[in-house]
Amino acid sequence: MIDIKNWIPAIDQISQYKRQYLGADLIAGTILSIMLIPQSLAYSLLAGLPPEMGLYASILPLIIYALFGSSRTMAIGPAALIAIMSASFSSQFALVGTPEYNAIAMILALMSGGILLVLGFLKLGFLANLLSHPVISGFITGSAIIIAASQIKHFLGISVSGGTLPSILTGLYNQLMDFNLYALIIGVGALTSLIIMKLFLERFLMKLGLNKHKASIFSKTSPLIVVSITTFLVMHFNLAQKGLLLVGQVPEGSPSFIVPHFSFSLIKDLLPAAGILAMIAFIESISISQAFATQSRQKINSNNELVGLGSANIISGLSGGFTVAGSFSRSAINFEAGAKSQLSSIFAASLVLMTLFFLTDLFFFMPNAVLAATIIIAIYSLIDIKGLTQIWQYSKHDGIAMLGTLVIVLGYGIEAGILAGVCLSILLFLWHTSRPHIAIVGNIEGTEHYRNIDRFDTHIEPSILSLRIDENLFFANCRTLEEKVTQLISDKPDVKHLVLMCNAVNMIDLSALESLETMMQRLQSAGIKLHLSEVKGPVMDKLKHTHLISNLTGQLFLTQHQAIQTLKQ
């Protein structure tokens, strides 16, 4: 019997909803919409899509996620990283600005949503763990740098294409002399204003008498303030006649349902891109939802998140939007504004819809340079150079994975970067596990503890060699163990017993099993018995019917101390 509450968390949220939550959700939704509208327009610009597609992606997807998502405060919708990825993938199949390009962005939303939905129904939320933190960090940092660089063209009022840092910088250099002075003044002025507001507006509001919580919330509305002022200046001084690029006409009314035209060959070509887009959208969203759930002590179900995010992307693609994901900045403002449930997102979506009906004329004079400034401010925190140095200091392997991903994203593009990062992670993992830490252990006198003789003052028996294996044994590292044992035995001619301490071994695969059997035979020919100690139950369950155990030349011991005391006699 299927429990519908497990698939539609909104039912549980409604049953626990209190009347006093309504005011908090309404206020949070209003503040969320103030941030959502300019960001939706900006991320449409980033994705190379018409501005209305960003607004369409901010209506029905929010409502659908409210039904199926498990987070009560995460705000989904257009996101900077997903927008630039969508642009990178779509531009491989069509020219920016064409109906075909817009259709491919919608198809990617549909496909990535379908992939997420299937993963959710199969309860495969754990797949997000396959991408390591260094790879994700390198990917996000590289993508954020590309996003920032791609927005410089709007400050200069020129047209530059390219999905890599070298191609963007080359295009900017070649057209530098064609810059528009008004775009530069408006863009730099907006960016400067946003930086000043980000640094000082909260403190200024606190001096006016607002408490820290309210001042923090209202300071997040600075993008709307800057956009409103610059739009008014463009209208008042007629800067559209000076070559300043504007958002232009935005169609009035609600989004309409449409299935974009596609062919099966196109679906096949887009499948890898959709898979990457789906995985990154999920990783970004689940990280955000878990972060805020921890603060509010809520429970997040990764499979519900897959279903919620997948459903939101499907409805986004069908209603004229593009791929959506969780937004950290909007989720933070939603949480700080006191949102109690996803009703705040529904309120925000309703206000976006009202804007489409009554306020689209105001978007006409909105400068692209100002939207570019809001993008740069929004993604600045994603550039984590300090994290690279910290990761490098902690682990050179992880540092190589992050740096390699970052360099390839910048030099070869987003798709190549994420694939290279995954490959680097796998290769470094195999390299690390193929060189297991194997320690000679001895007894700490007066105790039953056995520790590495290189780290502790221990006692060892000359006729007994005790080795602790600090890794699972499988095909990639079993040869290393053989070589280590051979070397140690040749250096210790008095050894009559080899005890493998297996307390850190959780798995022994077939290749490692055969290697142990071969090693046991070689030791036997040299007059040395092989013993095993502290073998874990699940590992023993696998071994008990094998030739290794049935023909074991030594004994099985429950503890290392028992092994040494028995063999010493």
Same domain for 350 and 482, yes or no, is no
Same domain for 470 and 335, yes or no, is no
Q: Is residue 432 part of a domain?
A: no
Same domain for 413 and 523, yes or no, is no
Q: Is residue 106 part of a domain?
A: yes
Lookup: tokens for 488: 């140690």
User: Which residues, given as ranges, of the chain have pLDDT below 50?
Assistant: 1
User: Which residues make Cβ contacts (< 8 Å) with residue 521, sequence separation at least 6?
Assistant: none
Helix (H) or strand (E) holding 465: strand 464-469
- Beta bridge partners, 557, equal 533
Same domain for 403 and 381, yes or no, is yes
Same domain for 125 and 97, yes or no, is yes
Amino acid at 324: V
Same domain for 400 and 461, yes or no, is no
Q: Is residue 76 part of a domain?
A: yes
Please give the pLDDT value at position 86: 94
DSSP secondary structure, 269-324, as one string: HHHHHHHHHHHHHHHHHHHHHHHHHHHHT----HHHHHHHHHHHHHHHHHTT----
Same domain for 502 and 402, yes or no, is no
Please give the pLDDT value at position 1: 43
- pTM score of the predicted model: 0.81
- Angle at which helices 414-433 and 396-412 cross, to 10°: 160
Q: Which residue range forms the structural domain that includes residue 549?
A: 438-568
Same domain for 415 and 445, yes or no, is no
Report how many domains make up the chain.
Answer: 2
Please give the pLDDT value at position 51: 93
* Listed residues 404, 425, 446: the one ending a domain: 425
CB 37 within 8 A of CB 352: yes
Same domain for 537 and 410, yes or no, is no
Tens digit of each residue's pLDDT (9 = 90 or more) over 478-537? 888 999 999 999 888 899 999 999 999 999 999 999 999 999 999 999 999 999 999 999
* Listed residues 425, 455, 471: the one ending a domain: 425
Helix (H) or strand (E) holding 468: strand 464-469
CB 165 within 8 A of CB 411: yes
Same domain for 466 and 378, yes or no, is no
Task: Give the CATH number of the domain where residue 513 resides.
Answer: 3.30.750.24
Q: Is residue 433 part of a domain?
A: no
* Listed residues 425, 447, 482: the one ending a domain: 425
Q: Which residue has tokens 């939207």?
A: 371
Same domain for 209 and 234, yes or no, is yes
